[in-house]
Chain A
Amino acid sequence: MGFALLVIIWLITFGSAYFFIAKTWWLPVGASAAAHWIDGQFTLTYVLMGIVFFAAQLSLGYIVWKYRERPSSGPVEYSHGNTTLEVVWTILTAVLFIGLNLMGSSVWASQRFDPAQPGAVPVEVTGMQFAWYFRYPGLDGKYGATNATLMDPSAGGEAAVGLDPSDPAAKDDVVTGTMFLPVNREVDLSIRSVDVIHSFFVPSLRFKQDAVPGLNIHMHFTPNQIGDYEIACAELCGLGHYKMHGIVKVVSQEDFDRWLAAREAEKQ
Chain B
Amino acid sequence: MATTATLHSHAPQGFIRKYIFSLDHKVIGLQYFFLALTAVWVGMFLSLLMRIHLVWPTASLPLVGEIKPEMYLSLLTMHGTIMVFFVLTTAPQGGFGNYVLPIQIGAPDMAFPVLNMLSFWTTFVGFVVILAAFFVSGGAPLHGWTGYPPLSAVQSAGPGEGLGADLWITSIAIFCAASLMGALNFITTTLDLRAKGMTLMRMPLTVWSWFITAILGLLAFGVLLSAGILLLMDRNLGTSFYVPLIVVNGQIMGHKGGSPLLWQHLFWFFGHPEVYIAILPGMGVTSQVLSTFSRKPIFGYKAMVYAMLSIGFLGFMVWGHHMFMSGMSPYSAFAFSLLTMCIGVPSAIKTFNWLGTMWKGRIRFYTPMLFAIGFVSLFVSGGLSGPFLAQPVLDIQLHDTYFVVGHFHLIMGVAAIFGIFAATYYWFPKMFGRMMNESWGKAHFWLTFIGTYAIFMPMHYLGMAGGTRRYSQYTEVAYLQRLMPIHTFMTYAAIITIASQFIFVINLFWSMFKGPKASDNPWESTTLEWTTATPPPHDNFGGRTPVVKHGPYEYGVPGAAKDFIMQTDPATTPAH
What residues make up the interface of A, taking CB atoms closer than 8 Å to B? 1-2, 5, 8-9, 12, 16, 19-20, 24-28, 37-38, 41-42, 45-46, 49, 52-53, 56-57, 59-60, 63-64, 67-69, 73, 75-82, 85-86, 89-90, 93-94, 97-98, 100-101, 104-105, 107-109, 111-113, 128-129, 148-149, 151-154, 162, 194-197, 199, 201, 203-204, 206-210, 212-215, 217, 230, 232-243, 245
B473 interface neighbour in A24, A68, A242, Cβ under 8 Å: A242
Q: B345 contacts A90, CB within 8 Å?
A: yes
Residues of chain B within 8 A of A41, CB atoms compared: 391, 393-394
Docked CA distance A64–B376 (Å): 12
What residues make up the interface of B, taking CB atoms closer than 8 Å to A? 68-70, 73, 142-144, 148-151, 154, 157-159, 243-250, 252, 257-261, 294-303, 325-327, 330-331, 333-334, 337-338, 341-342, 344-345, 348-349, 351-353, 355-356, 358-365, 370, 373, 376-377, 380-381, 384-385, 387-388, 390-397, 399-401, 442, 446, 449-450, 453, 457-458, 460-462, 464-466, 468, 470-474, 476-480, 483, 486, 555-558, 563, 574, 576
Residues of chain A within 8 A of B248, CB atoms compared: 129, 195-196
A239 interface neighbour in B69, B295, B327, Cβ under 8 Å: B69
Q: A101 contacts B337, CB within 8 Å?
A: yes
Docked CA distance A254–B558 (Å): 84
B380 interface neighbour in A57, A112, A212, Cβ under 8 Å: A57
Residues of chain A within 8 A of B473, CB atoms compared: 242-243
Q: B394 contacts A153, CB within 8 Å?
A: no
Q: A214 contacts B244, CB within 8 Å?
A: yes
Q: B363 contacts A203, CB within 8 Å?
A: no
Q: B330 contacts A112, CB within 8 Å?
A: yes
Docked CA distance A252–B361 (Å): 67
Residues of chain A within 8 A of B302, CB atoms compared: 81
Q: B363 contacts A68, CB within 8 Å?
A: yes
What number of residue pairs across chains A and B have CB atoms under 8 A from each other?
332
Q: A63 contacts B358, CB within 8 Å?
A: yes
CB distance from B430 to the nearest CB of A (A): 23
- Can you list 26 pairs linking A and B with CB atoms under 8 Å apart? A16-B453, A27-B464, A60-B355, A67-B294, A67-B358, A67-B360, A77-B556, A78-B296, A86-B349, A89-B352, A90-B345, A101-B338, A101-B390, A108-B334, A129-B157, A149-B252, A154-B250, A162-B247, A196-B149, A196-B157, A208-B325, A230-B478, A232-B479, A239-B69, A239-B142, A243-B476
Residues of chain A within 8 A of B330, CB atoms compared: 108-109, 111-113
Residues of chain A within 8 A of B385, CB atoms compared: 49
Q: A80 contacts B393, CB within 8 Å?
A: no
Residues of chain A within 8 A of B158, CB atoms compared: 238-239
A45 interface neighbour in B355, B388, B556, Cβ under 8 Å: B388
Residues of chain B within 8 A of A82, CB atoms compared: 299-300, 356
Nearest residue in A to B362 (C-beta to C-beta)? A69
Nearest residue in B to A1 (C-beta to C-beta)? B365
CB distance from A7 to the nearest CB of B (A): 11
Q: B394 contacts A81, CB within 8 Å?
A: no
Residues of chain B within 8 A of A235, CB atoms compared: 148, 400
Residues of chain A within 8 A of B361, CB atoms compared: 67, 76-77
Given contacts A97-B342, A104-B394, A105-B337, contact A242 B465 (CB under 8 A): no
Which are the 8 A-B pairs with shortest beta-carbon distances?
A214-B244, A203-B466, A81-B300, A112-B330, A76-B556, A1-B365, A242-B471, A25-B461
Nearest residue in B to A196 (C-beta to C-beta)? B151
Give 6 A-B pairs besides A19-B461, A105-B393 with Cβ atoms closer than 8 angstroms.
Answer: A20-B460, A78-B574, A86-B353, A97-B344, A153-B250, A235-B148
Q: A129 contacts B393, CB within 8 Å?
A: no
Q: A239 contacts B356, CB within 8 Å?
A: no
CB distance from A237 to the nearest CB of B (A): 6
Q: B477 contacts A73, CB within 8 Å?
A: no
Q: B461 contacts A208, CB within 8 Å?
A: no
Q: A212 contacts B364, CB within 8 Å?
A: no
Docked CA distance A212–B342 (Å): 30
A111 interface neighbour in B70, B356, B396, Cβ under 8 Å: B396
A101 interface neighbour in B391, B557, B558, Cβ under 8 Å: B391
Residues of chain A within 8 A of B349, CB atoms compared: 86, 89-90, 93
Given contacts A214-B245, A238-B151, contact A100 B250 (CB under 8 A): no
Q: A151 contacts B450, CB within 8 Å?
A: no
Docked CA distance A17–B435 (Å): 38
Residues of chain A within 8 A of B159, CB atoms compared: 239
Residues of chain A within 8 A of B298, CB atoms compared: 80-81
Docked CA distance A261–B519 (Å): 87
Q: A214 contacts B453, CB within 8 Å?
A: no
Q: A80 contacts B297, CB within 8 Å?
A: yes
Residues of chain B within 8 A of A148, CB atoms compared: 245, 247, 252
CB distance from A228 to the nearest CB of B (A): 10
B327 interface neighbour in A2, A195, A204, A217, Cβ under 8 Å: A217
CB distance from B468 to the nearest CB of A (A): 5
Q: B259 contacts A214, CB within 8 Å?
A: yes
Residues of chain B within 8 A of A46, CB atoms compared: 388
Residues of chain B within 8 A of A80, CB atoms compared: 297-301, 576
Given contacts A76-B361, A152-B250, contact A212 B260 (CB under 8 A): yes
Docked CA distance A56–B303 (Å): 19
CB distance from B370 to the nearest CB of A (A): 8
Docked CA distance A97–B380 (Å): 15
Residues of chain A within 8 A of B576, CB atoms compared: 80
Docked CA distance A126–B341 (Å): 34
